[in-house]
Amino acid sequence: MAWSNTMVDVLKQYNVQFISYVPDAKGEKILQVARKDKYFEILPLTREEEGIGVVCGQALGGKRGVVLMPTAGFGNSINALASLAIPYKFSLPMIIGVRGELGEFNQAQIPMGQAMPAILAALNIPTFRITREEDVEKMTEGALRVAYANESPVAILVTNEMAGWKKGSVKL
Amino acid sequence: MIDRLEACRYLVSKLGDELVVTDIGNQKRDLSEAEDRDLNFYMWNSMGMGSSLGLGLAMARPDRKVITMDGDGSLLMNLGSLGTETLRQPENLIHIVWDNKMYHLTGEQPTATAFRTDLARVAEGAGYENVARCETLDAFKAAFDKALAEPGPHFILAINDDKPAAGGAVPKSPTYIRHRFMRAQGLES
């Protein structure tokens, strides 16, 4: 089973009904699976920060949501995480498609990609980095469990090591 | 122009189990002065997130009306949320913007609405079909009554005066605000 099928299965097992997103290539793999299941309601956003507010609002109404975003979008979300999700203690799983690391060809992606782990650590956001397909079920379920136990954001990082590495696709 | 506290007093007088979320700023204090309901959710920072929070809540609670109380400065910081609201079209959502054309609490600096920006026209452009632009308390009352009675989403621009907020005591603890709000919906024991 593809990693995206596994991840979506785990979301459903955890009653995560709402998926909000700003698209990236890795998130699209998840959306392709979720769109086939009417259980999920999928909401496109104009900016990732909106997703922080939307998922917190869904939690306020007793429902679970997740937000998919690219690495750049994590940068767009920082104050909403620091001043809404964290102090109000909202469970908020973020699935982040990693850019700016292994094999990055776009120099303008690299500073945010390199800074993201340190920013997550500075905000004390539990972070789960998936590098192998065989780890997807364990890492996704484990991350969701921490989000709902800790009442906090968690970051699930979908890396190029697992998804998106294309040998020789760009030669610099 | 509208006296925001008077408008808030009218608003809460019409409410039963409706859910209210407020962005930061003056309206938070006027709402709590009018009535500090358990079903009021107050944001203390994250300026601009009120509209997104209200949308998420409206999606999670389609059985209740959800009222987002926004400010001109806050909405200008998250204008894209209008498009997200209209693509989703939650029938239970009422998005109110108190527009005093300034960042009041930081020294009355003008916002873009003090110049050429009209947030009612922005809302129309974003796809809102039910838009009310209210410059008097009577107009606000009529627009709010309609929004409560009819399926939405509704956008109400309330042009208010430059008075500072009333001294309503807003609960300070974020987790207290959240748990009180969820408990009042029967979501937590």
For residue A45, what is the domain's CATH number?
3.40.50.970
Instruction: Select the residue from A22, A43, A88 to test the B interface by mutation, using most B Cβ atoms within 10 A.
Output: A88
Quick one: residue B25, left, alpha or beta (phi over 0 = left, psi -120 to 50 = alpha)?
left
**C-alpha radius of gyration, chain B, whole number:** 15
Q: How many CB atoms lie within 10 A of CB A91?
A: 22
Give chain A positions within 8 Å (CB) of B122. none
pLDDT for the residue B40: 98
pLDDT for the residue A52: 98
Please give the Cα distance from B48 to A78 (Å, whole number).
Answer: 13
Interface of A with B in 25-64 (CB under 8 A): 41, 43-47, 49-63
Q: Per-residue pLDDT averaged across B78-97, rounded? A: 98
Interface of A with B in 5-24 (CB under 8 A): 18
Instruction: Select the residue from A15, A41, A47, A50 to test the B interface by mutation, using most B Cβ atoms within 10 A.
Output: A50
In a domain, A88, yes or no: yes
Matching residue, tokens 């079903």? B39
Query: Could you read off the pLDDT tens digit of each residue along chain A, which spans 172 residues?
Result: 799 999 999 999 999 999 999 999 999 999 999 999 999 999 999 999 999 999 999 999 999 999 999 999 999 999 999 999 999 999 999 999 999 999 999 999 999 999 999 999 999 999 999 999 999 999 999 999 999 999 999 999 999 999 978 888 788 8
pLDDT for the residue B167: 78
In a domain, A76, yes or no: yes
DSSP string, A41-109: EEEE-SSHHHHHHHHHHHHHTT-EEEEEEEHHHHHHTHHHIIIIITTTT--EEEEEE--SSTT---GGG
> What is the pLDDT of chain B when averaged over all its residues?
96
Residue B44 above 90 pLDDT?
yes
In a domain, A83, yes or no: yes
Say whether A83 and B45 touch across the interface (CB within 8 A).
yes
Please give the Cα distance from B21 to B40 (Å, whole number).
Answer: 6
List the domain range (segments joined by +) for residue A141.
3-158
For B49, which of A61, A65, A80 is closest by C-beta distance? A80
pLDDT for the residue A168: 83
Chain A: residue whose CA lies nearest to B88: A43
B138 min Cα distance to partner chain A (Å) = 31
In a domain, A47, yes or no: yes
> Distance of CA A109 to CAs A29, A67, A75, A160, Å?
20, 20, 11, 13
Contacts across the A-B interface (CB distance below 8 Å): 116
ipTM, interface predicted TM-score of the complex? 0.97
Q: Up-side HSE of residue A19: CA atoms within 13 Å toward CB?
A: 25
In a domain, A166, yes or no: no
Chain A: residue whose CA lies nearest to B178: A88
pLDDT for the residue A35: 98
Q: What percent of chain B has pLDDT over 70?
A: 100
pLDDT for the residue B32: 95
In a domain, A121, yes or no: yes
* Number of separate domains in chain A: 1
Quick one: residue B72, left, alpha or beta (phi over 0 = left, psi -120 to 50 = alpha)?
alpha
In 3D space, the residue among B149, B72, B82, B142 whose CA is nearest the CA of residue B104 turns out to be B72
Domains, chain B, with CATH or none = 4-184 (3.40.50.970)
Chain A: residue whose CA lies nearest to B78: A50
Matching residue, tokens 């767009």? A76
pLDDT for the residue A171: 85
Residue B168 above 80 pLDDT?
no
pLDDT for the residue A170: 82
Q: How many CB atoms lie within 10 A of CB B169?
A: 9
Matching residue, tokens 């925001």? B4
In a domain, A43, yes or no: yes
- Model confidence at B88, pLDDT cuts 50, 70, 90, reads very high
Say whether A49 and B48 touch across the interface (CB within 8 A).
yes
Matching residue, tokens 């609405």? B113
pLDDT for the residue A87: 98
Six token digits for residue B182 = 């969820």
